[in-house]
Amino acid sequence: MRTTIAFALVALVLALPMARADQLIYLTEPAGEKLFDEADEKSPYFKLATYLETEQILTFCAPATIAAVLNSLEIKRPSPPRLYPWGLFTQDLVFTPENQKIKSYAMVEEDGLVLEQINAFLLNLGVKAEFHHADTIDVSRLRQLIKDTLADPSKRLIVNYTRQAIGQNGAGHVSPIGAYDAETDRALVLDVAKYKYPPVWMTLADLYRAIDTIDSSSNKTRGIIVVTK
């Protein structure tokens, strides 16, 4: 039964209109640098980039993203014993006792977190969070949420998408958004899998296509989370 479902999900992804990898613009390219220089909204980038860490294992994109977002919002931080007296959210320290009840460290190591679980982790860590499945919004709404969130210093935006829909290697992934360019209608996704890809500019049409896919762990569409300090 699981094999049948897996093949059906693969067929569904393959049937989606796919973005070509050459349509992506990486921040490390001259065109990506130019987009950043001219971007309308990019203030969150600097704080997020300061605290952005590589996911420590393949399934830890969500913990890495959560840690970067919380550190960038400068809320009260825990004090890891090895860093005392300094405070910092780490990928391990987002697994509080409350969050371990939602999904244990070992289970996240196995298959990561789905959208609602990421949202619940954030709420337990002391911020406000609101998730939107892709099938509850459209591209226009996604654009407005991105613009409004990036313009507010007290907010951050997390995106849960599949790499397959944008022509990258891999599957489901989570990372924060750091900038938006209105002229090209592209958002800058700050990839926490730094060993695979640098930050990438993707059109909102492609980004929406990537979130409007089924997460096999929840059988729901992926989406975005607006985090507020």
Contact 42, 178 (CB under 8 A): yes
Question: Using alpha carbons only, what angle is made at residue 100 by residues 98 and 101, rounded to the nearest 5 degrees?
Answer: 70
Q: How far apart are CA 129 and CA 83, in angstroms?
A: 28
What does the pLDDT read at residue 4? 43
Contact 70, 76 (CB under 8 A): no
Q: How far apart are CA 149 and CA 208, in angstroms?
A: 16
The terminus-to-terminus CA distance of the chain in angstroms comes to 43
Strand order in the sheet with 155-162: 25-26, 200-203, 186-189, 172-181, 155-162, 223-228, 128-133
Contact 203, 23 (CB under 8 A): yes
Residues of the chain with pLDDT under 50: 1-17
Q: How far apart are CA 224 and CA 229, in angstroms?
A: 17
Domains recognised in the chain with CATH numbers: 2-228 (3.90.70.30)
What does the pLDDT read at residue 14? 42
Q: How far apart are CA 156 and CA 154, in angstroms?
A: 7
What does the pLDDT read at residue 41? 95
**CA separation (Å) from 197 to 54, 115, 171, 200, 225?**
11, 22, 13, 8, 22
**CA separation (Å) from 166 to 98, 188, 203, 208?**
35, 13, 10, 10
Task: Read off the pLDDT of residues 20-57 as tens digits, 9 standing for 90 and up.
Answer: 566 899 999 999 999 999 999 999 999 999 999 999 99
Task: Read off the pLDDT of residues 65-77 as tens digits, 9 standing for 90 and up.
Answer: 999 999 999 899 9
Contact 59, 148 (CB under 8 A): no
What does the pLDDT read at residue 19? 55
